Each structure stands twice: as C-alpha cells, then as structure tokens.
C-alpha cells in the first residue's frame, strides 16, 4: 500500500475494504493529490472573492433582516419599501 493511500484515513474516513481496494488503483494517490490541491485553490479563491467591507455590509443586511422579521415586517412590505427607495434614487439621478 502506498504511503499516500495509507495516509488517506487521516483526511477521509474510508472503510478498510475500500481502502484496500483503493491501494490497488494505479495512480490514485497522484490523482487524489491533484484533486485536493484544486479544491484547496478553489476554496482560497472563494474566500478572497469578497472584500472584508462587502462581507461587513452583508452582515449588516442580515442583521436588518433579522430585526424586520422580529418586528413582524413581511418580506413583501420590505420589497415595496425597497422599490420605492430605488425609484426615488433613480429619479434623483
């Protein structure tokens, strides 16, 4: 059994019979390593996609939604208010 396949249980919990069969697959450790590197790179990109400022704005918006829901304000009412504000902004431009 290759070292990479033997270390796989540290990362993913595989049944012993599947681990034994995986050890017989040619090139599997290299393909798994390539896959994991791609997944890590994509996760890093996702984390860097939005600025801290954008994430802070999102959190503020979530807090406002929670307050509105706690106050019993319906989504449809909030959307009417949004559209009215948007129309006022567009007219002001």
| Domains of the chain: total | 2
Q: Which domain holds residue 76?
A: 52-92
What percentage of the chain has pLDDT greater than the value 90?
Answer: 35
- Residue-wise pLDDT tens digits, 41-64: 998 998 888 888 888 898 999 999
Q: Same structural domain for residues 44 and 7?
A: yes
Q: Verify that 37 and 58 share a domain, yes or no.
A: no
Q: Same domain for 9 and 44? A: yes
Task: Please give the pLDDT value at position 18.
Answer: 87
Per residue in 62-76, pLDDT tens? 999 899 889 998 889
Q: Answer whether residue 84 shows pLDDT above 90.
A: yes
Q: Are residues 86 and 66 in the same domain?
A: yes
Grade residue 26 by pLDDT with cuts at 50, 70 and 90: very high
Mark whether 18 and 37 lie in a shared domain. Answer: yes
Burial of 19 (0-12, 13-18, 19+ CB in 10 A): middle
Please state, as a whole number, how many other Cβ atoms lie within 10 Å of the Cβ of residue 4. Answer: 14
40/16 same-domain check: yes
- Quote the pTM value: 0.44
Burial 21-45 (b: 16+ CB within 10 A, else e): ebeeeeebbeebeeeeeeeeeeeee
| CB-based contact 29:5 (threshold 8 Å) | yes
């Amino acid at each position: 059994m290759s070292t990479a396949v033997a270390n796989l249980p540290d990362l993913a919990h595989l049944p012993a019979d599947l681990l034994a069969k995986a050890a017989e697959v040619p090139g599997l450790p290299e393909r798994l390593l390539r896959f994991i590197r791609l997944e890590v790179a994509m996760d890093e990109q996702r984390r860097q996609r939005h600025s801290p400022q954008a994430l802070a704005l999102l959190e503020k918006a979530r807090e406002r939604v929670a307050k509105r829901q706690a106050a019993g304000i319906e989504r449809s009412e909030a959307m009417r208010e949004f559209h009215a504000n948007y129309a006022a902004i567009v007219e002001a431009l």
